[in-house]
Amino acid sequence: MSDVGAERALVDRWHGLLACHAAVWGALERELQSRHGIGVSEFEALEGLAASDHDKCRAAELAGTVHLSQSATSRLTARLERAGLVTRAMCDVDRRGIFVLLTEEGRRLYEDARPTHREVLAQALPAAEQPARR
């Protein structure tokens, strides 16, 4: 394959990945919003907290989990806190650190929304393209 052909194939794969991401994200957004009143970022934050030790993690770690900037994660956390789904607490060891904690209401919403999330993923993701979960 020529360099131009290899480059075109690479760009085509990238565009395919973007299209798949957009389609799956859109399907998740529609179903999570209509069935549970939350968006994908909110779900991902709740799932990250539910999977963490003692239903909490540092705010900076949550940003990596939801793949948002620190400022966008802070706004997301504020929305979740106003909804009663999370609380924030200062770290006892490092006063600069802030923990985000999942509330009981947040855990209930996560548990209710998880089957919807998985159902949409199973329908929207091509089986051959599903990467192994780490």
Would you say residue 134 has pLDDT above 50? no
Q: What's residue 128's pLDDT?
A: 46
Q: What's residue 2's pLDDT?
A: 80
Residue range 58-68: mean pLDDT, rounded: 89
Tell me the pLDDT tens digit for each residue of 85-111: 999 988 766 666 788 999 999 999 999
At 99, give phi and psi (nearest 5°). -95, 145
What's the CA gap between 35 and 43, in Å, rounded? 12
Q: What's residue 1's pLDDT?
A: 67
Tell me the pLDDT tens digit for each residue of 29-50: 999 999 999 999 999 999 999 9
Would you say residue 120 has pLDDT above 70? yes
The structure's pTM equals 0.84
Question: Any idea which fold 3-126 has?
Answer: Arc Repressor Mutant, subunit A (1.10.10)
Sign of CA dihedral 101, 107, 109, 114: positive
Q: Where are the domains of the chain?
A: 3-126
What's the CA gap between 87 and 82, in Å, rounded? 9
β-sheet with 56-58: strand ranges across: 56-58, 98-102, 86-90
